[in-house]
Amino acid sequence: MSGLLEGRKALVTGASRGIGRAVAAQLAQEGADLALLATKADLLEAVAEELRGLGRKVITLPVDLANGPAVAEAVEKAKAELGGLDIVVNNAGITADQLLLRQKEEDWVRVLDVNLTGAFRVTKAACRHVMKSKHGRVITITSVVGLTGNAGQAAYAASKAGLVGFTKSLAQELASRGVTVNAIAPGFIDTDMTAALTPEQQAAITQKIPMGRMASPLDIAHAAVFLASDRAAYITGEVLRVDGGLAM
Ligand code: NAP
């Protein structure tokens, strides 16, 4: 049986763990070949090895998204080795949570540099390849806090709100080329990022979620597969909340 993304070529950032890993696995499951990016080569290679077991071509490109020239080089390598690029998933992200009065400027700059400028670097380098695809897709993982704000997360929320503006602007630039550009706004997902919260903090958050649970990375991966597929060909500039109703 052929998958929804048979023969497509996808690049996923932050693919070594959490949401990015689940997105990569679901894209592979649906028939896509993959270029996986993150900083830690060993974790990336372990994910790649697992996904090659599905019969897909999977390459790993260890790179820090803060390093512009290295990102451009990695994207070119992805395109050359996969033979094109149809789908880009901007997923990698970091936090440096702190009340604004205590936030160090270096932490603010690092969060914006990796989360927002990192997505710019990847997308700019990948764009001209994706524009040649008949099924071009740019999918960016933002967050509900980019829509609502969150005390203690000014830097992170600003980076995620920036990605919403980035998504809607690029959607307008690329619509006439048939490339859709969308964002997914997860609520609270069970990954390393949220494992840093205390059980009390996790319980307080869960209480605010109408569906009464955190999401699994798979919940986000299913949304990414949908947006990457032909079934979402007429959806662009959208921010799809996958949050159990948290930010409705
Ligand atoms: P995670 O488990 O902490 O994984 C983050 C991923 O990003 C890792 O693969 C990491 O790889 C990569 N990464 C971090 N810094 C990088 C850099 N400078 N260059 C390249 N790769 C880098 O995070 P997650 O929870 O899966 O989150 C994934 C995305 O969803 C993020 O954008 C996050 O903001 C967003 N999100 C998460 C939640 C949540 O509740 N978890 C909610 C809303 C939105 P290395 O460790 O190898 O660098």
* Shortest-distance atom of ligand 1 to CA 16: 9
Residue 133 pLDDT exceeds 70: yes
Compute the average pLDDT of residues 214-237. 98
137, 87 contact by CB (below 8 A): yes
1 confidence band (pLDDT: 50, 70, 90): low
* Shortest-distance atom of ligand 1 to CA 44: 47
* Residue 9 token pair: 């070529």
User: Bridge-partner residues for 62, per DSSP?
Assistant: 38
| pLDDT tens figures, 20-72 | 999 999 999 999 999 999 999 999 999 999 999 999 999 999 999 999 999 99
* Shortest-distance atom of ligand 1 to CA 40: 47
The pLDDT mean for the chain works out to 97
Q: Ligand 1: which of 193, 213, 219 to mutate, most ligand atoms within 8 Å of CB?
A: 193
- Taking alpha carbons only, the member of 29, 31, 61, 32 closest to residue 44 is 61
Q: Ligand 1: which of 109, 191, 218, 220 to mutate, most ligand atoms within 8 Å of CB?
A: 191
Q: Whose CA is nearest to atom 48 of ligand 1?
A: 39
Compute the average pLDDT of residues 116-136. 98
Residue 156 annotated in active site:
yes
| pLDDT tens figures, 162-213 | 999 999 999 999 999 999 999 999 999 999 999 988 999 999 999 999 999 9
Q: Give the model's pLDDT for residue 115.
A: 99
Q: Give the model's pLDDT for residue 196.
A: 87
Catalytic annotation, pick one of 12, 118, 119, 156: 156
242, 215 contact by CB (below 8 A): yes
Helix (H, G, I), strand (E, B), or coil: what is residue 16? Answer: coil
179, 88 contact by CB (below 8 A): no
The model scores a pTM over 0.85: yes
Give CA–CA dist 140/123, Å, rounded: 10
